[in-house]
Amino acid sequence: MKGELKADGEWASASVSGSTGVRGSYQVTLPTSVASTITSPEQAMAQLNPTQPQNLPVGATVTLTGEAFAESGMSVTFKKIAGLFDFEAGLSVERAKGMALAVTRVDDKTIRVTVGPTEAVSRNTKASFGLLGVSDTLTVSGQLYSRQVDFDISRPEGLAAYQRFLATGELPKNDSATGTSNAATVQMTSESFSRDVTMLFDLGGATLESSEYVTTTYDAGGPTEFQYTGTKGPVTFTVNGEWKQPEDPSTYTYAVTLPDLMPGTIDATRDLYPGATGSGETVQVSFTYAEAQRIQQTLKDYQSAIAQNQGANGFPLYMDAAMEGAANAATPEEAMAILLTPTANNDTTTVMYRLHELANFDREHGSGGPMPGSLTLLPE
């Protein structure tokens, strides 16, 4: 086995080859906290082998591509996967080379398998890890699809079903008797489609440069899960939640990732969010729907106070255009997208400046309580 783990924030990745039971190279992504505990090739071979899913660490994903395996001992598997997405593919090796499968250890009991065109599987994995960024969203054109199923490998039936899939490429449906569940279709949609097809909330005046949706629709029914990712310069803004009829935004959560902050901003931000977790120079701030509502109401109160010549101590007696726009936004989604993304110069520090200004006002004229939201510090 060969491979060098490379850290990228909370996650590490490696290219692995020569593992027992699998002939070829495959990609591994896992939490850096787990990666740091793998100290030898022998240990990695035992823990990162897709044919032994019970050994995979929780949070780890192993991705195999048809390019590497379609002409190996897994040719039948990748040809079958190709047939799921192209009925005319037949036994085409070339079509099979464009397929991929990803194996994710969701928890102690569950392995999730995702199959589909390589780009769809790769991007679905990145979305699951929160790794979609500027370079990713700008390359999407149109729609991508993949399929996924969960296997309960704590049961002999579930482990057998998983091994049967690896051997045949036949992705099972929901079946409690064999330990399979959560069969679903995952769709990725670029901005050009989302405006017409999948856009269920309006970001209004927010000036994001690229947008992408990942939606998961379960065969058994129920709400469709979604993740929206938008970018503005180096900033990534996300909305996660469930789409229901009628719409219920109470499940929505919002997050912004801010790299390249000016020196000193991190320490000041720790004061703003004393419960901050993690370490590093990149800031991620997240909000629940209720917290987003509180933020927007505080913006409205601030707007009214400034009209009466009562501002925030140490700040000018006016709101910048982004804060004004967020106060006047029609929805919390639009408000958060405007507030949490930089202006034309893409200065990420201005976003934190707005939150500090709002916190100062709230301490003096509002609830006086802690700033809504939670802060996580990430490695660069």
The whole-number pLDDT of residue 176 equals 96
Give percent above pLDDT 70 in the chain: 82
**How high does pLDDT run on average in the chain?**
81
Given pLDDT bands bounded at 50, 70 and 90, which one contains residue 36?
confident
Question: Quick one: CA dihedral 150, 154, 157, 163, positive or negative?
Answer: positive
Contact 119, 165 (CB under 8 A): no
Residue 116's Cβ-count burial label (10 Å; 0-12, 13-18, 19+) is: buried
CA triple 107-282-262, angle to 5 deg: 170
Determine the pLDDT at residue 8: 47
Distance, in Å, from the CA atom of 301 to the CA atom of 359, rounded to the nearest integer, reads 12
Q: Which of 14-23, 287-296, 303-312 shows the lowest per-residue confidence on average (mean pLDDT)? A: 14-23
Q: What angle do CA 313, 299, 337 make, to 5 degrees?
A: 125
What distance in Å separates the CA atoms of residue 81 and residue 83, rounded to the nearest whole number? 5
pTM: 0.80
Which pLDDT value is given to residue 97? 81
Q: What is the pLDDT of residues 295-340, one digit of tens each?
A: 999 999 999 988 888 776 767 778 889 999 999 999 899 999 999 9
Mean pLDDT of 134-147: 58
